[in-house]
Chain A
Amino acid sequence: MTFLNYLLSGISLGSIYAIIALGYTMVYGIAKMLNFAHGDVIMVGSYICFFAVSRFGLPPVVGVLAAMAVCTVLGILVERLAYKPLRAAPSLAVLITAIGVSYFLQNGAQLLWTPNPKVFPSIVGNGRLALFGGQLTVSHVTLVTIASCVVIMIALTLFTGHTKMGKAMRACSEDKGAAQLMGINVNSTISVTFAIGSGLAAVAGVLLCSAYPNLVPTTGSMPGIKAFTAAVFGGIGSIPGAMLGGILLGVIEIFAKAYISTQLSDAVVFAVLIFVLLVKPAGLLGKKISEKV
C-alpha cells in the first residue's frame, strides 16, 4: 500500500511537471527557443489566482480563469517585447533574453507583492478519498491534477492535429520560410503558441500551488527547471513526449526519495535523464531529424 501511495504521489507531481513541460515543448517546437521565463509565468498565474480568491473572495473558477487571462496576455506581451525583435538574432541571444525576462518577472513580483510567503487557498478543497479500508488515501487535489493533465494533453493533440491553426503551427515548426511562402502568418502563429503556453502555465501554477500551497516570487523556478528536464526527457517538441517525460520524472523523483535517499533524489532523476539521452539522444518520443548541411 505504501508503494501505491508513493506511486500516486509521483503521478500527481509528475502531472504538474507534465503540464508545465507542455508549455515548454510547444514553444520550443514552434518558435525553436527555450522560454526560460515559463516557470515565472506560472508564478504570476498563481499570484493572480491567489489575489482573486483570497483577497477579493471570488469563486475559484473565476480565479483560475482570471489567472489564465492575465497569463495569456503576459505571454503575448513578453513575446512581442522581448523575443520578437530578436527573431533573426542567434538563438543564444534569445536564450539570454529569456533568462533576463525570468529575472525581471521574479524581481517584479517581489517588488509588487513582497517576498513574504503566502499560503495558497485550497481551490479544490481538502477532501480525500480513502480506498482499501483507509490504507490508501488519495486527495482530491491529486485526482484533479491527474485529470486536468490528461484532458489538456488530449485537447492539445486534437488542436495541433485537426485545426487550421494547429496545422499552421506544425508547418511553422517544420520550416518557417516555407510556411510563410504558403501564406501562413508566422508571427501571429508564434504569438498564439505563446498565448496557449502561458494559459497552460496559469493552470499549472494553480495546480502546483493547490498541491503545495506555498507562494513566493521564486515558486515557479524549480518546477520550471524540472519541467524543462521532463520536456527534454520525453523529447522536446513532442506533446505526448512532454506528458510521458513529466509523469516519469515525477514518479522517479518520489521513488528515488522513498527507496534510495531523500537527498539524492534529484541526482537520481538527472542520472536517469543522462542515461536516456545517451541511448536516445532525441528523448523518449522525440523525432530524430538529420540536419541538412
Chain B
Amino acid sequence: MKHTTMKKMIAFALATVMLVALCSCGGGNGGESAASEAFKLGGTGPLTGGAAIYGNAAKNGAQIAVDEINAEGGIQFELKYEDDAHDAEKAVNAYNALKDWGMQISLGSVTSAPANATSAEGFADRIFSLTPSASAPTVIEGKDNMFQMCFLDYPTQGGASAQYISDMALGEKIGIIWKNDEDYSTGLRNSFVDKAAELGLNVVAESTFTEGNNDFSVQLTEMQNAGADLVFLPMYYQPASLIFSQANAMGYAPKWFGVDGMDGILTMEGFDPTLAEGVMLLTPFNADSTDEATQAFVAKYQELYNEIPNQFAADAYDCVYAYKQALEAAGATPDMTAEQLNDLMIEQFTSMSFDGLTGTGMTWDSTGAVSKSAHGMVIQDGAYVGLD
C-alpha cells in the first residue's frame, strides 16, 4: 500500500517536472531562437503517403532557395515543412504545429484538398500564404491573404489547352479521359469543354476514372470506337503513364495532349520514353530548358536529391524568391508579427512583378491568382521541345 502511494507521488512529481520543462522549452523556443534574425517560413505538404512525391519536391525546392538566400547574407529564412499526408484534417494539425513554432509567413499547402483547409485557418489567423502548387480556385477565393504561385489556376489552363488545339488545328475528333474524383482533373476538364464548345471543337467521347483505377481498357476502347484522333488527358502523370502503355498494347495511337501535371513522366524510373513520343502539353517549367537559372537549379537539385526536379520543386523555389523580393521591397524585418507581415505582403504581391524559373513578369491580382504564360511543349526523343 505504502509502496504504491510512494510510486504515485514520484510519478506525479516527475510528470510535473516534465510539464514545466516542456512549457519553458516551448516558450524559450518561441522567444529567443533567431526570432530577430530570420523570417520563419512554414508550409505543409504530403511528405509521406501516395502524394509524397509532390510534397517532397516542393520541400526540396524551397530548401534550395532558402539555402541560397541565407548564404548570400541579407534576408534570412528559417524553413519548416510539416507532413499533411495529403489529408485535410492532418493539414490543420500540421498548420497548428507551425503556428506554435512561430510561423510568420506561409507556403500554404502543396496539394489542393489540404490547402482548402489550411487557407481557411491562415485567413482567420492573418498569416500570409503563397502556395507553390495548390491550384484549386477555392484555395484563394474570398481570402485576401492567400496567393498562388502555380501556373494559371486550372480553369484557365483547360481553356488555354482547348484554344491551343483549335489554333494549331491539332485534332478533328477529340476525346477526353479525366479523373472525376479529383478537383484538379475535373476543373481542367470543365474549362476545356466550355472553351471547346465556344471554339466549335468536336468532342466525340468522354470517359472517367477514379482513384485506384489501373485498368483503362474500357476508357480507351470508348475513345477508339468514337474515332478520337486527339485525346486530352487532364491528369497527373502516373495514370497517364498507364494509359500510354495500355493504348500501346491495344494498338491505339491518337495524338495525346496533357497538362502541367504530366510533367515528371519522363523522369519516372523505368518509363519507356517512346510511349510518350509526340505527347503535347502546356507547361510553365521545363527542366531541360537552356535558361541559365533553370540549369543551375536543376544541377543543384540533382546533386542534392539525385533526381530531376519537377514543376512542384520549381514552383516552391520561386515562392521563396518571390518572398525575398517582396520582403526586401517592403523593408520588412524578422521581428515583425505575422499580422504586420501579412499586410505588407498583400500590398507587395498585388503591386510587384517577379521573374522566376516558372515564368517572367509574373504578377498577382487582388484575388491572389498569378498571371503567367504557358508554353506549348512536345516530347521528342525523350525530351521536351518547344512547340512554338
A residues within 8 Å of B by Cβ?
A: 2, 5-6, 9, 13, 50, 54, 107, 110, 115-121, 126, 128, 130, 137, 139, 141, 211-216, 218, 222, 253-254, 257-258, 262-263, 266
* Contact residues, B36-75 vs A (CB, 8 A): 48-50, 52-53, 56
Most buried by A among B180, B208, B217, B246: B217
B29 within 8 A of A: no
- Which residues of the other chain, A, contact B53 by a CB distance below 8 angstroms? 115-117
Contact B249 A121 (CB under 8 A): no
A107 touches B215 (CB 8 A): no
Is A107 a contact of B242 with CB atoms below 8 Å? no
Interface pair B218/A214, CB less than 8 Å apart: no
How close is B59's CB to chain A, nearest CB, in angstroms?
13
Known: A107-B48, A110-B52, A263-B210. A54 touches B270 (CB 8 A): yes
Within 8 A of A (CB), among B134-161: none
- The residues of A that contact B210 with a CB separation of less than 8 Å are 262-263, 266
Separation of A222 and B215 alpha carbons in the complex (Å): 12
A-B Cβ contacts below 8 A, count: 94
CB neighbours (8 Å) of A253 from chain B are 215
Q: Which of B52, B225, B248 has a CB less than 8 Å from the CB of A2?
A: B225
Determine whether the beta carbon of A119 is less than 8 Å from that of B251: no
A2 / chain B contacts, CB cutoff of 8 Å: 221, 225
Mind listing 25 A-B residue pairs with CB under 8 Å? A5-B221, A9-B218, A110-B52, A115-B49, A116-B268, A116-B269, A118-B268, A118-B269, A119-B245, A119-B268, A119-B269, A119-B272, A121-B270, A137-B250, A139-B249, A212-B242, A213-B245, A222-B212, A253-B215, A254-B215, A257-B218, A258-B218, A262-B210, A263-B180, A266-B210
Q: Are A263 and B249 in contact (CB under 8 A)?
A: no
Add 6 more A-B contacts to A116-B269, A263-B180 (CB < 8 A).
A5-B217, A119-B271, A119-B272, A128-B251, A218-B49, A266-B210
Query: Top 8 A-B pairs ranked by shortest CB distance?
Result: A115-B52, A212-B214, A119-B270, A9-B217, A222-B212, A119-B271, A257-B218, A118-B269
B241 at the interface (CB under 8 A from A): yes
Contacts of B270 in A (CB 8 A): 50, 54, 118-121, 213, 215
Closest to B236 in A: A117
Give the nearest-CB partner of A8 in chain B: B217
Are the CB atoms of B268 and A117 closer together than 8 Å? yes
Write out the residue numbers on chain B whose beta carbons fall within 8 Å of the beta carbon of A128.
249-251
Q: Is the CB of A262 within 8 A of B219?
A: yes
CB distance from A228 to the nearest CB of B (A): 14
Point out the residues of chain B lying under 8 angstroms from A258, CB to CB: 218, 221
> Which of A115, A119, A218, A254 meets B218, CB within 8 Å?
A254
CB neighbours of A50 from chain B (8 A) = 270
Given contacts A110-B48, A120-B270, A263-B208, contact A126 B221 (CB under 8 A): no
- Expressed in whole angstroms, the minimum distance between the Cβ of A221 and any Cβ of chain B is 8
- Look across to chain A and name the residue whose beta carbon is closest to the beta carbon of B224: A2
Minimum CB–CB distance from A268 to chain B (whole Å) comes to 13
| Minimum CB distance partner of A226 in chain B | B212
Choose one: A119, A137, A212, A213; the contact of B215 (CB below 8 Å): A212
Question: How far apart are the CA atoms of A75 and B125 in the complex, in Å?
Answer: 50
Q: Is the CB of A218 within 8 A of B50?
A: yes
Chain B residues with CB under 8 A of A218:
49-50
Find chain A residues with CB under 8 A from B271 CB.
119
Report if B354 contacts A (CB, 8 A). Answer: no
Which residues of chain A are near B351, meaning CB under 8 Å?
Answer: none
Select from chain B the residue with minimum beta-carbon distance to A139. Answer: B249
Q: Is the CB of B180 within 8 A of A214?
A: no
Give the size range of B's interface with the partner.
Answer: 35 or more
Instruction: Name which residue of chain B comes closest to A5, CB basis.
Output: B221
Instruction: Give chain A residues whose Cβ lies under 8 Å from the Cβ of B50.
Output: 115, 216, 218
CB distance from B135 to the nearest CB of A (A): 21
Chain B, range 215-241, C-beta contacts under 8 Å to A: 215, 217-219, 221, 225, 238, 241
B207 at interface, CB cutoff 8 A: yes
Within 8 A of A (CB), among B192-216: 207-210, 212, 214-215
B307 within 8 A of A: yes
Report the minimal beta-carbon distance from A18 to chain B, rounded to whole angstroms: 15
Residue of A nearest to B271 (CB): A119
**Which residues of A are found within 8 Å of B52, using beta-carbon distances?**
110, 115
The CB with the most chain A CB atoms within 10 A, among B52, B219, B248, B270, is that of B270
Complex CA gap A13/B48 in Å reads: 29
Report chain A residues within 8 Å CB of B56.
115
CB of B208 within 8 A of CB of A116, answer: no
CB neighbours of B215 from chain A (8 A): 9, 13, 211-212, 253-254, 257
Known interface pairs A110-B52, A115-B53, A116-B307; A6-B221 also in contact (CB < 8 Å): yes
**What separation, in Å, do the CA atoms of A197 and B143 have in the docked complex?**
54
Known: A110-B48, A115-B50, A262-B207. A126 touches B249 (CB 8 A): yes
Give the chain A neighbours of B214 by CB distance below 8 A: 211-212, 214, 222
Q: In the complex, how many angstroms separate the beta carbon of A57 from the nearest chain B beta carbon?
A: 12
Distance between Cα atoms of A128 and B248 in the complex (Å):
10
A116 contacts which chain B residues (CB < 8 A)?
A: 53, 268-269, 307
- Residues of chain B contacted by A107 (CB below 8 angstroms): 48
Rounded to whole Å, the gap between the CB of B176 and the closest CB of chain A is 12
Q: Which residue of B lies closest to A134 (CB)?
A: B251
Distance between A119 CB and nearest chain B CB, rounded to angstroms: 4
Among residues of A, the one whose C-beta sits closest to the C-beta of B181 is A263
Distance from A257 Cβ to chain B, minimum over Cβ atoms (Å): 4
Q: Known A110-B52, A116-B53, A118-B269; judge A262-B248 contact (CB<8 A).
A: no
Q: Which chain B residue shows the least CB distance to A222?
A: B212
Interface-central residue, A9, A116, A126, A218, by most chain B CB under 10 Å: A116
**For the complex, what is the distance from the CA of A73 to the CA of B246, rounded to whole Å?**
33
Q: Which residues of B contact A120 (CB under 8 A)?
A: 270
Q: Which of B214, B221, B225 neighbours the largest number of chain A CB atoms within 10 Å of its CB? A: B214
Min CB gap B33→A, angstroms: 29
